[in-house]
Amino acid sequence: TRNTPNLNQPREQWGTRFGFMLAAAGSAVGLGNIWRFPFVVGEGGGAAFVLLYLGFVLLIGLPLIIGEISIGRKGRSNAMDSYKVIQPNSKWYLNGFIGVIVNFMILSFYSVISGWALYYFILALTGNLLANEKNYENAFGGFITDPIMPIVWQALLMSIVVLIVLRGVKKGIEKWNNILMPTLFVLLIILVFKSTSLENAQEGLQFFLQPDFSAINSGVILAALGQAFFSLSLATGMYVTYGSYKRNENSIVGNAGGIVFLDVFVAILAGLIIFPAVFHYGIDPGRGPDLVFITFPYIFTDMPFGTIFAVVFFFFVFVSALTSAISLLEVVVAFVKEKFNLSRKVAAPVTGIVITTVGAFTALSFGPLSHITLFDLTIFGLFDFIAAQVLIPFSGFLLCIFLGWVWKPHEVKLEVEKEGNKFPLFKLWSFLIRYVIPVVLLVIFLDSIGIL
């Protein structure tokens, strides 16, 4: 029937050993590292926030990624049906469904910000980004408050994403990630050297690296947790979906470790690039979502070969956004395709159009709709908050209970150890998953809604 996963049809698979790893890292590394990380660090008061984030990544992120990949590879289905394969006749699949909703919500606003990145890349490419007057706040403000332009760029970006997802796992997603990901790392490293040699770089580095624990409160803790999850693409069904195309011979633990390393590495590099510059140019680090788009043009204007660096950098932002947007769409498409028995050719554009339409409202919330707020948040802020700080951590909590108490650690171990692979520190993993992570998540939740 329609509702049970089809296990007879051969499932798409990654083409090479590195397919899964690069695609999942491509999903994890994105605007979350380059655009979101710096501004939430800025809002969260700097280095103490960074430490919390790192703690959450290692203590909660890594163990959950291992579990989430295992669910996908065992279930070999979309984010929701994989749960059904593992626990038939239970309601756990609803957690997978939350993931599909989360991806839908994130892509709605993610496509808008990715559209900004695409626009800035084209501006740089055509030589129209840098100017001597350096009025970058106004230039950017004018663009994002425009009632039409941001939507045009969002739609353009989404068309590219749809075209890649249309081509399927091997020829689309994998091929592009293999080309795009390695380029990113090289570019970032060059920029770190540039930025840390700016005058006053010291002050920025201090803000980023020297913790002031008085800045920590329950809001900051929840924000750091949300950032860790968002940045890793954790508990969104991405690892289940991409893991479902994974070959058995690849090490799940090794891949998870690699993904976490790359993700943290890029976020730290982004911080090392942006904060020295923010202090050098006297920009407020807590100014919010436009931080990256304003700071970088300043850096490039004052740099030898700045025009070229601007092109390269915004290409990088655009590309890393693209590989994440691809994963966001793929999770929803894999679901729609299997649920409604549609081909990729139909599912991808239809899903893309619906998401773009909903997303247009988040785009407008920077301009014509900025007066519409709820709990002091704009439509964009609300989408981001609900997805990153409410639904994802909540779904992560359920994921943890599922792994530790329903599917159970020894079953996860069997999946991880297929084809002679190892599960190092399994005992520690099991302890974290069963006792530590659920309690930590619960405490943070209760704390953030003021119960503790």
The interface region with ligand PFF, picked from 76-84, 168-176, 198-206, 230-238 by CB under 6 A, is: 230-238
33 binds ligand PFF (CB under 6 A): yes
155 binds ligand PFF (CB under 6 A): no
Contact with ligand PFF (CB under 6 A) among 23, 24, 31, 80: 31
| Residues of this chain, 86-105, that bind ligand PFF according to CB under 6 A | 103
267 or 299: whose CB is closer to ligand PFF?
267
Surface-to-core class of residue 131, CB atoms within 10 Å of its CB (0-12 exposed, 13-18 middle, 19+ buried): exposed
130 or 157: whose CB is closer to ligand PFF?
157
Residue of this chain nearest to ligand PFF (CB atom): 32
230 binds ligand PFF (CB under 6 A): yes
Contact with ligand PFF (CB under 6 A) among 22, 24, 25, 28: 28
Separation of alpha carbons 115 and 152, rounded Å: 8
The interface region with ligand PFF, picked from 30-38, 63-71, 198-206, 421-429 by CB under 6 A, is: 30-38
Contact with ligand PFF (CB under 6 A) among 123, 238, 274, 336: 238
70 binds ligand PFF (CB under 6 A): no
The interface region with ligand PFF, picked from 77-85, 225-233, 252-260, 348-356 by CB under 6 A, is: 225-233
423 binds ligand PFF (CB under 6 A): no
Structure tokens at 279: 């202090």
238 or 433: whose CB is closer to ligand PFF?
238
CB of 276 to ligand PFF, least distance (A): 22
The interface region with ligand PFF, picked from 160-168, 231-239, 407-415, 416-424 by CB under 6 A, is: 231-239
CB of 212 to ligand PFF, least distance (A): 25
The interface region with ligand PFF, picked from 70-78, 114-122, 212-220, 323-331 by CB under 6 A, is: 323-331
CA nearest to 144, candidates 26, 3, 294: 294
Q: Give the chain as a 3 state SS string.
A: CCCCCCCCCCCCCCCCCCHHHHHHHHHHCCHHHHHHHHHHHHHCCCHHHHHHHHHHHHHHHHHHHHHHHHHHHHHCCCCCHHHHHHCCCCCCHHHHHHHHHHHHHHHHHHHHHHHHHHHHHHHHHCCCCCCCCCCHHHHHHHHHHCCCHHHHHHHHHHHHHHHHHHCCHHHHHHHHHHHHHHHHHHHHHHHHHHHHCCCCHHHHHHHHHCCCHHHCCHHHHHHHHHHHHHHHCCCCCHHHHHHCCCCCCCCHHHHHHHHHHHHHHHHHHHHHHHHHHHHHCCCCCCCCCCHHHHHHHHHHHCCCCHHHHHHHHHHHHHHHHHHHHHHHHHHHHHHHHHHCCCCHHHHHHHHHHHHHHHHHHHHHCCCCCCCCCECCECHHHHHHHHHHHHHHHHHHHHHHHHHHHHHCHHHHHHHHCHHHCCCCCHHHHHHHHHHHHHHHHHHHHHHHCCCC
* Residue 104-143 contact track with ligand PFF, rule CB under 6 A, x = bound: --x-------------------------------------
HSE-up of 406 (CA within 13 Å, CB side)? 20
The interface region with ligand PFF, picked from 87-95, 176-184, 233-241, 357-365 by CB under 6 A, is: 233-241
The interface region with ligand PFF, picked from 31-39, 75-83, 144-152, 153-161 by CB under 6 A, is: 31-39
The interface region with ligand PFF, picked from 40-48, 227-235, 269-277, 395-403 by CB under 6 A, is: 227-235
Structure tokens at 399: 């994921």
CB of 71 to ligand PFF, least distance (A): 15
CB of 449 to ligand PFF, least distance (A): 23
Contact with ligand PFF (CB under 6 A) among 177, 327, 351, 362: 327
Separation of alpha carbons 421 and 424, rounded Å: 10
Neighbouring CB atoms inside 10 A of 317's CB total 27
324 binds ligand PFF (CB under 6 A): yes
Contact with ligand PFF (CB under 6 A) among 78, 114, 231, 255: 231
Contact with ligand PFF (CB under 6 A) among 77, 233, 378, 430: 233
Contact positions toward ligand PFF, by CB under 6 A? 27-28, 30-33, 103, 106, 230-231, 233, 236, 238, 324, 327-328
